[in-house]
Amino acid sequence: MSENQPVNNVPPHSLSIVIPMYNEAENVEPMITRVHEGLAGYAHPWELILVDDGSSDATPSELRRVGAKFGPHVRVVELMRNFRQTAAMQAGIDAARGDVIVTLDGDLQNDPIDIPRMVARLLNEDLDMVAGWRKNRQDGLFLRKIPSRIANRLIARITGVKLNDYGCSLKVFRGSVIRRVRLYGEMHRFIPAWLATVTTPRRIAEEAVSHHARQFGESKYGISRTFRVILDLISVYFFMRFRARPGHFFGGAGLGLGALGSLILIYLAGLKLFTHADIGTRPLFFVGFFSIIMAVQFILTGVVAETLARIYFESGSSRPYEVRSPQSLTADEAWHKA
């Protein structure tokens, strides 16, 4: 199927499009207009959810003004402060009512014209997610493309979810599946990997999409993102491998340190007993002693802290954001229908 070919024979569904925006006042009207152009004549009900992530410019007022021009199917969710992109994305997913949920950035680099084709593939091939792949990426080579390629290969190797582009925000999800994943921290970079904790990677696919250079505003990303990706990748690895058994992860590290410390202290005890050597001031004694202490901390403090954090964020009453004025809609209200 070509990128601009009309999409037919798609099973009945409702569609929610979620776009987090932070200080993107100049992009608001072009973005909303472009979504309507991309979904012109769409045969199924859809809604557009725009999440203002505590912008400090005119983004909130622009969202309300432009949204009112297009109709009630354009819904604005205003967060009380800047909770960052992951929390804003989760706020939009929580507000979405569609059977299919689409996420994309609000900077016009993703093209909404790709949405119908990706939705058709998701439903016709019975997938849980279709991720966008920016094959012809319009970004800087050294600061964006090269670090992204390295990160994508590293993430795919560690997580086992083989995608060429983890960083593309244009993704299409089966609503019933993405709602089972709670996003917090900086998890938006690894949504395919997190999704693989509730479904099989075989139901995750990739689709080549358009990518445009930024026209208005400034990028919110820098080279410092590389270091955060490394730290986040450790968390992804932990929860994919040890989510149901965190004691194995921390216990393994603790037992390793404990074994090292025990061997050192047994060796020193042998020296003391058989040669009467003075061991109290040897650096090796302190290495062994503190290895035992660290082993106990790994086994007890680590397991308790990580397990409690996961329970807290997965509980139904815990959300990583606060909405200023939540909307309450019935299942049939505020849909755009052909």
CATH code, domain carrying 146:
3.90.550.10
Reported as a pLDDT band with limits 50, 70 and 90, residue 166 is: confident
Does residue 207 sit in the same domain as residue 275?
A: no
Please report whether residue 65 resides in a domain. yes
Does residue 139 sit in the same domain as residue 271?
A: no
In this predicted structure, which of 33-42, 241-250, 267-276 has the lowest mean pLDDT? Answer: 241-250
Distance CA 188, CA 24 (A): 19
Residues of the chain above pLDDT 70, percent: 83
Please report whether residue 338 resides in a domain. no
Amino acid at 313: F
Q: Do the beta carbons of residue 164 and residue 147 sit within 8 Å?
A: no
Last residue of a domain, which of 191, 223, 242?
A: 242
Q: Do the beta carbons of residue 80 and residue 46 sit within 8 Å?
A: no
Name the range with the highest mean pLDDT among 201-205, 312-316, 326-330.
Answer: 201-205
Please report whether residue 167 resides in a domain. yes
Q: Mean per-residue pLDDT for 78-82?
A: 95
Question: Which pair of structure tokens corresponds to residue 195?
Answer: 């999704």
Please report whether residue 2 resides in a domain. no
Please report whether residue 162 resides in a domain. yes
Please report whether residue 140 resides in a domain. yes
pLDDT of residue 230 exceeding 80: no
Does residue 285 sit in the same domain as residue 189?
A: no
Does residue 45 sit in the same domain as residue 180?
A: yes
Determine the pLDDT at residue 126. 94
Please report whether residue 6 resides in a domain. no
Does residue 193 sit in the same domain as residue 302?
A: no
Does residue 192 sit in the same domain as residue 268?
A: no
DSSP H stretches of helix in 72-145: 85-95, 115-124
Distance CA 9, CA 12 (A): 9
Last residue of a domain, which of 197, 227, 242?
A: 242
Please report whether residue 102 resides in a domain. yes
Last residue of a domain, which of 224, 242, 260?
A: 242
Does residue 49 sit in the same domain as residue 171?
A: yes
Average pLDDT, the chain: 84
DSSP state of 190: G
Domain count, the chain: 2
| Beta pairing, strands 74-78 & 171-174 | unpaired
Does residue 34 sit in the same domain as residue 142?
A: yes
Does residue 217 sit in the same domain as residue 260?
A: no
Does residue 130 sit in the same domain as residue 227?
A: yes
pLDDT of residue 224 exceeding 70: no
Does residue 230 sit in the same domain as residue 132?
A: yes
Which structural domain range is residue 286 located in? 246-314
Does residue 189 sit in the same domain as residue 307?
A: no
Determine the pLDDT at residue 332. 83
